[in-house]
Chains A and B, each alone.
Chain A
Amino acid sequence: MTVDSLYQEIILDHYKNPHHRGLREPFDAEVRHLNPTCGDEITLRVQLDGDTVKDVSYDSEGCSISQASASVMTDLVIGKDLQTATATADEFLELMQSKGQLEPDEDVLEDAIAFAGVSKYPARVKCALLAWMAWRDAVGQARGEVGESTA
């Protein structure tokens, strides 16, 4: 296990040049999630158009893993229908819980396959999941479900 398996080039690229960053209008729901152990935080907005994820915008602060993960996540869910986006979120969660034992599917996860190495570092899994958990929460709230905000 070396640190290069954690800090893949793709992750560092997204960290240095994050996609879809910044908070935008209009939006249907806004959530704020914290990683209480390390102080990472994200404010995330979701706009839905029927069953389509029209936009996801965010403002966040945290380590390279959490920042890159937010960037990659927006690439994967914006413009997708909710069923596809949720399935991708499920697959990413499964990858993060795999302790390095799962071969990620690039067709589904695209750049997010770079996080496979993170699953071997239990302390960093939460960093990689922060934006995804916020997204799930925001979608739930946008659809009028009872949220599970940690704020």
Chain B
Amino acid sequence: MTFDVARVRKDFPILDREVRPGVPLVYLDNAATSQKPQQVLDAMRDYYEQHNANVHRGIHTLAEEATALYEGARDKVASFINAADRREVIFTKNSTEALNLLARTIPLAAGDEVVVTEMEHHSNLVPWQLAAQRTGATLKWIGLTDDGRLDLADLDRTITANTKVVAFVHQSNLLGTVNPVDVVVAKAREVGAITVLDASQSVPHMGVDVQALGVDAVAFTGHKMCGPTGIGVLWGRADLLAALPPFLGGGEMIDEVTMAGSTWAVLPHKFEAGTPMIAEAAGLGAAIDYLTDLGMDAIRAHEHELTAYALDKLQRVEGLRIIGPTTTEDRGGAISFALDGIHPHDVGQLLDEKGVAVRVGHHCARPACLRYGVSATTRASVHLYSTTAEIDALVEGLDQVKAFFKR
């Protein structure tokens, strides 16, 4: 089956809009957030128009329908990532909250070590910094090579008998690098450390099987995978999650409450205090159906082709340096670059003039930017609906940016 990108684009109403009269949108900021297909918008609207009620409590029809939608979304997530058990799927606000949940609840003490990498998004770095500060544990990290990959020569020195947690990113939002999960997991297992994978940039773009990856916990977010903002997922092995204390307290997460104390609900509810994001769960469920219908392998192949095309075209732009791997090997479709003598902010501003939306700045991965000697980059990132014509528009725009600052 060939991937019909023209047909896919028709599902995304926003791709039809013009940024200004006569200037069509060229959306290449997908690593920040994806656009939403009509199917997702319809699911959320339908929820509010037909089924809106609080979940898990009422015994009236609407409450049962809302609960079925919410818990149905959990089943869809579980199947999408091949979780062994639906109770292992916890809904959170986003990846950041999922990672904070773990950093706040995994027991740590002075003498323990937490290992991250130098390419982490701040969401998988700052929570562990806070955890280290709070508990007296030590934060260590795996460094990077000049070509944008984990420096695995470091691994034996970094992951030791004292390591309690190894938290690392599956696909870098800044560099596009896809990390060798198996190598890191094998080393972490040797020392009995818990492995936490930030899959925010991988789950939207490739088939992710949490059991095959062999990690203990995975975080990702709905809005980068064609779903709504406001909902993310923490998946964790049931025995790990069951052993952790609660994160937020409140309604829904309790078993029995007295003035003297409380006991906790079973998984997944122990980690879902308060009224959850029900409409967002309905939207995320619709997004998973949409991606599944197209097929994650077909989506990945399409984006792989686009990434190859973009890497080739961009490297022909004089004065452009790619920050990250320059080939498609173990690489996704987020491409950061520096343009000689022109600050990314100015690049982004002038590209916007042409309707080309890219991200500029440190992309919440400032340590990795510093590692490569830049305070900021320009980043173009593709998704399932991106086209080679959009890459051409980007490259043409870059030529105009250079001409503007040369005058």
Contact = CB atoms under 8 A, between A and B. Distances in A.
Interface stretch (A32-40, A77-85, A90-98, A143-151): A32-40
Contact of A62 (B343, B349, B404): B343
A121 B349 contact: yes
Given A38-B344, A65-B345, A3 B360 contact: no
B261 to A, nearest CB: 42
The size class of the interface chain B forms with chain A is 10 to 19
B376 interface: yes
A3 B403 CA distance: 14
Interface in A60-105: 61-67
A39 B368 CA distance: 13
A124 interface: yes
A62 B343 CA distance: 6
A64 B346 contact: yes
Contacts of B360: 38
The size class of the interface chain A forms with chain B is 20 to 34
Contacts of A66: 345
A37 B349 CA distance: 14
Contacts of B343: 62-64, 67
Contacts of A127: 345
A41 interface: yes
A41 B374 CA distance: 12
A66 B361 CA distance: 14
B333 to A, nearest CB: 23
- Which of B343, B362, B366, B404 is most buried by chain A, counting CB atoms within 10 A of its CB? B343
A6 interface: yes
B346 A63 contact: yes
Interface in B309-358: 343-346, 349-350, 353
Given A37-B361, A39-B361, A65-B345, A3 B376 contact: no
Contacts of B262: none
Given A61-B375, A62-B343, A64-B343, A38 B361 contact: yes
B159 interface: no
B369 interface: yes
A66 B350 CA distance: 16
A6 B345 contact: no
B357 to A, nearest CB: 12
B362 A39 contact: yes
B375 A39 contact: yes
Contact of B362 (A3, A6, A7, A38): A38
Given A38-B361, A39-B375, A62 B350 contact: no
A40 B353 CA distance: 22
Interface in A13-40: 37-40
A62 B344 CA distance: 9
Contacts of A39: 361-362, 366, 369, 375-376
Contacts of A41: 375
B359 to A, nearest CB: 10
Nearest to B374: A39
Given A37-B361, A39-B362, A124 B345 contact: yes
Contacts of B362: 38-39
Contacts of B405: 12, 64
Interface string B374-407: 0110000000000000000000000000001100
Nearest to B366: A39
A41 B375 CA distance: 9
A124 B369 CA distance: 21
Given A39-B375, A41-B375, A62-B343, A3 B369 contact: no
A48 B404 CA distance: 39
A143 B353 CA distance: 44
Nearest to A9: B407
A6 B349 contact: yes
Contacts of B344: 38, 63
Q: Which 4 A-B pairs have the closest CB atoms?
A: A63-B345, A39-B375, A39-B376, A63-B343
15 contacts: A3-B349, A3-B353, A6-B349, A38-B344, A38-B345, A38-B360, A39-B366, A39-B369, A39-B376, A40-B376, A62-B375, A63-B344, A64-B405, A124-B345, A124-B349
